[in-house]
Amino acid sequence: MMRAREVLTASLYYLSRDLAASVDISAVLTAVVRNVEDALNAQVVILLPEGEQLDILAASEGVLLNIKEQAVADWAFRNNHPAGRATDTLVSADLIYLPLQTPATVLGVMGIRLESLHEYHSLENRRLLDAFATQAAMAIERIQFSRQAEQAQILQARENLERALLNSISHDLRSPLSTVTGVLTSLKEEGEHLGDHARRELLETACSEADRLNRFVGNLLDMTRIEAGAVKLNLEPYDVQELVGCALAVLERRGDTRKISFKMPPEMPLIPIDLVLMIQVLVNLLENSLKYSPPGSPIEIIATTDTSWLVLEVSDLGPCVPEHDLKRVFDKFYHIPIPEGAGGTGLGLSICKGIVEAHGGRIAAENRTGGGLSIVIRLPLRGQNL
CATH code of the domain occupying 164-227:
1.10.287.130
Residues 180, 200: Cα–Cα separation, whole Å: 14
Residue 167: pLDDT band with limits 50, 70, 90: low
What share of the chain in percent tops pLDDT 90?
32
Is the pLDDT score of 69 beyond 90? yes
pLDDT at 164: 57
Q: pLDDT higher for 382 or 126? A: 126
Domain ranges of the chain: 2-150, 164-227, 236-380
Q: What is the pLDDT of residues 312-349, one digit of tens each?
A: 999 998 888 888 778 778 776 666 554 444 455 567 78
Q: What is the pLDDT of residues 202-241, one digit of tens each?
A: 888 888 778 777 767 776 666 666 666 666 788 899 999 9
pLDDT at 47: 94
Please, what is the average pLDDT of the chain? 82
Q: pLDDT higher for 345 or 144? A: 144
Q: Could you please state the CATH topology (level 3) that the domain comprising 236-380 is classified under.
A: Heat Shock Protein 90 (3.30.565)
CATH code of the domain occupying 2-150:
3.30.450.40
Q: Best-predicted range by mean pLDDT among 90-104, 141-155, 283-297? A: 90-104
Q: pLDDT higher for 26 or 229? A: 26
**Taking a C-beta distance cutoff of 8 angstroms, is the pair 130, 136 a contact?**
no
Residues 177, 321: Cα–Cα separation, whole Å: 32
What are the beta bridge partners of residue 341? none
- Mean of the pLDDT values across residues 67-71? 94
Is the pLDDT score of 146 beyond 90? no
Q: pLDDT higher for 350 or 265? A: 265
Of 265, 279, 300, 310, give the one whose Cα is nearest residue 373. Answer: 300
129-133, 148-152, 263-267, 330-334, range with the lowest pLDDT: 330-334
- Mean of the pLDDT values across residues 359-368? 90
Residues 266, 115: Cα–Cα separation, whole Å: 79
Q: pLDDT higher for 269 or 15? A: 269
Q: Best-predicted range by mean pLDDT among 171-180, 224-233, 339-348, 350-359? A: 350-359
pLDDT at 341: 44
3 state SS for 104-163: CCEEEEEEEECCCHHHHHCHHHHHHHHHHHHHHHHHHHHHHHHHHHHHHHHHHHHHHHHH
- Mean of the pLDDT values across residues 151-171? 67
Residue 19: pLDDT band with limits 50, 70, 90: confident
Is the pLDDT score of 73 beyond 70? yes
Residues 321, 373: Cα–Cα separation, whole Å: 7
Question: Who's near 66: CB < 8 A, 6+ residues apart?
Answer: none
Using a cut of 0.95, tell me whether the model's pTM lies above it. no
Residue spans of alpha helices (H) in 228-269:
240-253
- Mean of the pLDDT values across residues 125-154? 87
Residue 151: pLDDT band with limits 50, 70, 90: confident
Q: pLDDT higher for 222 or 195? A: 195
